[in-house]
């Protein structure tokens, strides 16, 4: 009975939004990325924060650097970063490459990446924009390698995007794909909420309706003219955790006159099996689902004690590189939805 009640409540929330707010359909950059000063919340090591060898996540970030670098055979090569966010991984990979070009549909992201590159003194990374759903502004066979971190699935048609990336990749070139499959949300996390600050007086409440079986997600974005912390307080009743089940039609009615914009976006989230199928059908001659360098670096961090763990960036890199080079070449079970390397 409880499950049926919950399902009915969730359905009524999305129906209420559709009926009362008439959300406009939009693409991902219109939905959120143009509105974010920092996609990462200024949390990225090296790009925004000094590297901290005592922080497990900082090790993971270095592991991802070498994951993308080695998986694309990118040392000294020309690389594309598709969907660079705040300049990740392009700006941390750039010191090892000949050239890195980042491309994004969001003008805000391009501006942020360009400013970050200038601030960091990185001269071999540049960033360009394109209109989603159109051809990428590059000639055939342009890049030695392509890095795509949770970005292809943010485009209107991920398969067509993958075909474009194949077109601009050189024969023998490699693409490394990190993606958000929906398998992680099975068992109670299909419906979710995220509140992001837009200004001192406004925030955006994003409600997720994920269908992992059919590999897509609907996101409803409500721009609310209420400060972020105040909205969280009103939603949770003072509790620290913000959860989807705190949202109700009654709550939406209460804040309706403060909702200045409503949007809806559908994104396709292929599973690992679907990615492999697409890559092979498009023409990639080798497709390898493999383990993540970030995961390997995190596990390596755990093997050290606080007393014997490397304490500077150079020493950490030396420890991480060898492990990442091995694990990124090891085939991982596709049911785990692992990262994927494909060779044209």
Q: What is the mean pLDDT of each run of 10 residues along the chain (344 residues)?
A: 48 92 96 93 96 98 98 98 98 98 97 98 98 95 98 97 98 98 90 94 97 96 97 91 94 97 97 98 98 98 96 96 97 98 98
Give the 3-state secondary structure of residue 167.
helix
What pLDDT is attached to residue 5? 46
Domain termination residue (choose one: 233, 268, 303): 268
Domain that holds residue 149: 56-181+270-343
Structural contact between residues 249 and 12, judged by C-beta atoms closer than 8 angstroms: yes
Query: Are the beta carbons of 45 and 174 closer than 8 angstroms?
Result: no
Token pair for 152: 């292809």
- The enclosing domain of 109 has a CATH number of 3.40.50.150
pLDDT at 10: 63
Burial of 210 (0-12, 13-18, 19+ CB in 10 A): buried
Note the pTM of the prediction, 2 decimals.
0.93
Assess whether 234 and 319 both reside in one domain: no
| Three-state secondary structure call for residue 139 | coil
Res 240: pLDDT: 82
> Do residues 313 and 281 share a domain?
yes
Same domain as 21, residue 162? no
With respect to residue 326, please indicate whether it lies within any of the assigned structural domains.
Answer: yes
pLDDT at 187: 84
Domain boundary among 232, 253, 268: 268
Residues 6+ apart with CB under 8 A from 4: none
Question: Quick one: 109 and 160 in the same domain?
Answer: yes
CB within 8 Å of 256: residues ≥ 6 apart: 20, 21
* Length of the chain measured in residues: 344
Note whether 91 and 210 are same-domain residues.
no
Distance CA(217)–CA(267), nearest Å, equals 5
* Number of separate domains in the chain: 2
Regarding whether 165 and 243 lie in a shared domain, the answer is no
């Amino acid at each position: 009975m409880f499950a049926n009640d919950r399902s009915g409540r969730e359905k009524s929330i999305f129906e209420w939004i559709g009926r009362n707010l008439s959300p406009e359909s939009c693409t991902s950059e219109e939905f959120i990325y143009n509105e974010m000063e920092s996609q990462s919340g200024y949390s990225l090591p090296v790009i925004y924060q000094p590297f901290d060898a005592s922080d497990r996540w900082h090790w993971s970030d270095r592991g991802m650097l070498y994951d993308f670098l080695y998986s694309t055979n990118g040392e000294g090569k020309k690389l594309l970063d598709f969907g660079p966010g705040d300049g990740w991984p392009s700006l941390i990979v750039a010191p090892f490459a000949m050239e890195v070009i980042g491309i994004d549909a969001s003008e805000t992201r391009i501006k942020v990446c360009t400013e970050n590159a200038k601030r960091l003194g990185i001269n071999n990374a540049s960033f360009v924009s394109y209109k989603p759903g159109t051809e990428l502004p590059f000639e055939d066979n342009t890049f030695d390698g392509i890095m795509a971190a949770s970005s292809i699935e943010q485009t209107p048609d991920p398969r067509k995007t993958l075909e474009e990336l194949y077109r601009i990749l050189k024969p023998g070139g490699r693409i490394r794909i990190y993606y958000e499959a929906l398998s992680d949300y099975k068992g109670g996390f299909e419906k979710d909420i995220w509140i992001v600050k837009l200004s001192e007086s406004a925030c955006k409440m994003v409600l997720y309706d994920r269908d992992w079986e059919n590999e897509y997600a609907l996101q409803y974005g409500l721009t609310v003219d209420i400060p972020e912390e105040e909205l969280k307080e009103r939603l949770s009743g003072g509790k620290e955790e913000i959860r989807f089940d705190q949202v109700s039609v009654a709550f939406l009615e209460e804040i309706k006159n403060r909702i200045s914009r409503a949007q809806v976006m559908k994104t396709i989230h292929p599973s690992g099996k679907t990615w492999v199928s697409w890559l092979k059908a498009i023409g990639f001659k080798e497709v390898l689902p493999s383990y993540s360098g970030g995961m390997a670096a995190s596990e390596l961090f755990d093997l050290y004690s606080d007393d014997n763990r490397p304490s500077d960036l150079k020493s950490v890199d030396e420890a991480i590189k060898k492990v990442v080079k091995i694990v990124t070449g090891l085939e991982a079970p596709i049911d785990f939805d692992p990262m994927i390397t494909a060779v044209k």
